[in-house]
Structure 1
Amino acid sequence: MNNNCLVILSLALSAVLAGCSQQNAQFVDDDGVTRLEEKSPASAEDIRTSLTAHFGTPNALVAFGSLPLDFGSITGKVISTENSDTLRVALDQPSAGNLAASAAVLTTTVNDKPVQVIRSVLSFNAASRTLTLQPAANIPASLPDSPIELVGHRLQRGRQLYMQHCMHCHGVTGDGHGPTARYIRNHRFNPLPRDYRRGEFKYKSTKGTITASRSDLAKSIKYGIPGTYMPSFRLLEDAHLSAIVEYVRFLAMRGQFERALLDYFKAVESPSDTTLKALDATFSKDEVPDEQQRQQFVLLEDFFDELKELTGEDKLARAEKLLAEQLAARISEALEDIAGNWTAAEDPQNLVVPTVARVKDSPESRRRGFNLFQGTVTKCTQCHGEGGRGNGFFVTTIQEDPVTKKKNDRPGIFDVWGNEVRPRDLTSGIYRGGRRPLDIFHRLSIGIAPSKMSSFANLKEIERWDIVNYVLSIPIDGAFFDEHGHQYHGGDRSHAHHDHDHDHDKPADKPADKPADKPADKPADKPADKPADKPA
């Protein structure tokens, strides 16, 4: 498929699946589009039109070749044609599932010249190799031996499975507001279903700001998120699971595209000299200093000079005009940025892979991990608390919003979606991103940026492994160490059960806040034990 090709994948004639898969679904606008419409209906409509052009609707998806999505592609050739709507074809590989509603990219002739046309597939009979297309008027039949490409069956299958298994929580648009989502939020610390539209995911194995990889998303879907309402889908076939992953990526890219356009149109919401001047950054990428951008700079400079002389509606109208004129350039740039990030996520060089094997779990390693956990370099206790119960200082103080960079209006930690989050209670033994040592290593090395958990990639790998050993030991042996180097749970510093050579009976060995053991006084009103009377 051509990288710039827009292929409409119609679902209008596909079978209606049982359950939550109604075919009249619609994508929902971001709240920002609704606000923008109050100020500038024309700009809001520009965003909707661009979204439909590049991503389609739930019932007529668009496969845009510049995005790194596996839409599903099968190549082959036309053997013969009964008419313009019925073909016998030879495919280069067996069809992976139902090809109905995919798009057929065909070659025909118009005025004796070969022309590429796109048709919607109604059905495919593998036994007779007959491909039936949706009827279309005035389209000549395809040429025998001409190439054919069937595009979109994998994305369509992912969409159908998503609507069946995922939509009721995550919503048609992937905004986390499906029909059952409101029942999940029965406690302020219960996380709502993930909103994919930012392209941000908490649990990943990729470096820095690079988004989650396919394998990261597959892991979350397959195994679920322990301690939340996100279940495991281990019973799904691998092909079905990977199809859902691809559709989730599609929804995330669509959401990122929408947000990029919203950022672009911010100047219209408040068309001041300051906000419009910020548009300069839109066209000022040093790595692409081409002639088109230089022309845009000139246009912007002229516009800023003109804007100073305008007020009120005149200023708004002029801002709308400029932004509409430059929209095509912004769309191209946004799609390039989005594609680059998701492509980077699949590059093995961008995966966090430890170069040092896990340190052997030992009391010495755990103690080193404890010291790091409690220390001033990691400051883990500010969120997780000294006992690892998720009750650190930040939970009860007012923090800065990670998006707006302004102080929140109430105490607590809030993620990028605006939800209040509680640092993990490490004493529970429940780790949402996975309980393997490697999973904990990833959390320390990458952080959980959407929830404000920092990355500790600045620590040596051996130090991170020490923290891993300590964290995994907390639910079993406790978060604290006594003066003899033994772990204990909060509120209980007893360690007499340990097999070690120091003397527990020496007063100096007793913790200061625990009195020396002594025999309990015998209750005065309790008679001496005697054999129980034998029943008569």
Structure 2
Amino acid sequence: MGGAEGETSEGDGARAARGGRTRVPAWREEPMRLSSWIVWGGLCLALAAPALPAAAQDEEEDASRLAAALNQPQLIRQGKGVYEGYGVGCHGEKGDGNGPAARWLDPKPRDFTRAAFKFRTTPSGTLPTDQDLHRTISRGVFRSSMPAWFLMPESEKVAVIQYIKTFSDRWKDPYEYEPPIFIPDPPDFVGTPESIARGKELYKLMRCYNCHGETGHGDGPSAATLTDDHGRKIRPFDFTSGVLKGGPGLKDIYRTFSTGLDGTPMPSYYDSLPNDEDRWHLVSYIISLRNQGKHKKK
């Protein structure tokens, strides 16, 4: 999962990432090796980006059908092997986000024992769908050490999703599940001057500036006080810096406004902005801030 596997031979570093025992893990002797993992992961993200939309949607739906058709204990056994090969180095043997490489990573790897996931289509505070987890595994998390495992076979993605669920009892509670929020296609008005102006008004009305700053640079008056669900310092996103972690598309940004990012101070605006057009106007304004950042870099 988080942190790419850059080894081509079964040396100490590869065995450590797979959960095997070595005298001294390679990343403790050679911290710079971790950098190559992250660079490799970044390359995966870059290569994956152009192929996301329709094909990814089909793969997510196929993954759900495959999971329903296969034997659950068998899936979990297979998923354990996949997790030990790709995820244990960052997320840890216990799934608590404390793998051997975690000390060097910012943001920290996801703690699966809490079952709180940022990138979902489901309402705030509820569990993600299998398709949500599949999307994150396939395209990674932008601007983080979580690479895009888009070349991983579908059967392995399906299996590791089921194994991830064994780390928390939340998955056994039927009351933790809610249907996904409908994410419509962007209306034609998104990106127009009128929509951007309305989005700017809403940005002020919803006090987004408290965290993200008046100009969207992530430097609001509350920025220095924010923490995640582990009590660790967390920085509000700088909208002028480029692609958001949840993805580059308009629907990705709309999804974040609609669901919030569980485990962080970022709330859902599904109830506070029940008119979906208002959330799209916010998307327009955020895109305008991103474009301003591009022009300044030039």
Instruction: Please state which band the TM-score falls in when normalised by the shorter chain.
Output: 0.7 to 0.9
Partner of 2:63 in structure 1?
A: none
Partner of 2:181 in structure 1?
A: 352
Superposed displacement of residue 429, structure 1: 1.3
Partner of 1:339 in structure 2?
A: 173
Partner of 1:234 in structure 2?
A: 150
Higher normalized strand content (fraction of residues): 1
Q: What are structure 1's unaligned runs of at least 5 residues?
A: 1-17, 25-68, 74-150, 185-189, 257-336, 397-411, 480-487, 490-536
Please give the per-residue CA displacement for 1:6-56, whole angstroms capped at 9, x wherever unaligned.
xxxxxxxxxxxx7333578xxxxxxxxxxxxxxxxxxxxxxxxxxxxxxxx
**C-alpha contact 2:242 2:293 (8 A) present in aligned 1:** no
**TM-score when normalising by structure 2:** 0.72
**C-alpha contact 1:383 1:391 (8 A) present in aligned 2:** yes
Letter in 2 for 1:249: K
Please give the per-residue CA displacement for 1:386-430, whole angstroms capped at 9, x wherever unaligned.
11011101023xxxxxxxxxxxxxxx2001122211011100112
Distance 1:236 1:436 in 2: 23
Partner of 2:116 in structure 1?
A: 200
Distance 1:452 1:183 in 2: 23
Q: Calculate percent identity across the aligned residue pairs.
A: 29
Partner of 1:475 in structure 2?
A: 290
- Give yes or no for the alignment of 1:380 onto 2:193: no
Superposed displacement of residue 70, structure 1: 6.5
The 3-state SS of whatever aligns with 1:449 is coil
Change (3 A) 1:234 1:383: same
Distance 2:251 2:157 in 1: 23
Q: Superposed, which structure 2 residues align to 1:67-146 within 5 Å?
A: 72-73=70-71
Distance 1:71 1:195 in 2: 28
Partner of 1:173 in structure 2?
A: 94
The 3-state SS of whatever aligns with 2:263 is helix
Partner of 1:429 in structure 2?
A: 242
Please give the per-residue CA displacement for 1:510-529, whole angstroms capped at 9, x wherever unaligned.
xxxxxxxxxxxxxxxxxxxx
Q: Which among 278, 285, 296 is matched to residue 463 of structure 1? A: 278
Asked which structure has the greater CA Rg, the reply is 1
Please give the per-residue CA displacement for 1:136-166, whole angstroms capped at 9, x wherever unaligned.
xxxxxxxxxxxxxxx6221111100100000
Please give the per-residue CA displacement for 1:313-344, whole angstroms capped at 9, x wherever unaligned.
xxxxxxxxxxxxxxxxxxxxxxxx843145x2
Q: What are structure 2's unaligned runs of at least 5 residues?
A: 1-13, 22-66
- Give yes or no for the alignment of 1:160 onto 2:160: no
Letter in 2 for 1:435: P
Letter in 2 for 1:228: S
Superposed displacement of residue 435, structure 1: 1.7
Measured on the aligned residues, the alpha-carbon RMSD in Å equals 2.5
Distance 2:232 2:293 in 1: 30
Distance 2:69 2:114 in 1: 21
**C-alpha contact 2:91 2:109 (8 A) present in aligned 1:** yes
Superposed displacement of residue 252, structure 1: 2.9
Partner of 2:127 in structure 1?
A: 211
Superposed displacement of residue 359, structure 1: 4.3
Distance 2:261 2:183 in 1: 18
Which structure's relative contact order is higher, taking Cα pairs within 8 Å and 6+ residues apart? 2
Letter in 1 for 2:151: L
Change (3 A) 1:225 1:356: closer
Aligned residues between the structures: 235
The 3-state SS of whatever aligns with 1:209 is coil
**C-alpha contact 1:211 1:341 (8 A) present in aligned 2:** no
**C-alpha contact 2:240 2:292 (8 A) present in aligned 1:** no
Distance 2:212 2:90 in 1: 29
**C-alpha contact 2:186 2:250 (8 A) present in aligned 1:** no
Change (3 A) 1:454 1:250: same
Distance 1:171 1:179 in 2: 7
Superposed displacement of residue 243, structure 1: 1.0
Distance 1:354 1:180 in 2: 35
Change (3 A) 1:388 1:237: same
**C-alpha contact 1:444 1:464 (8 A) present in aligned 2:** yes
Change (3 A) 1:161 1:451: same
**C-alpha contact 2:185 2:251 (8 A) present in aligned 1:** no
Letter in 1 for 2:196: R
Superposed displacement of residue 171, structure 1: 0.3
- Give yes or no for the alignment of 1:395 onto 2:223: yes
**TM-score when normalising by structure 1:** 0.41
The 3-state SS of whatever aligns with 1:152 is helix
Letter in 2 for 1:420: K
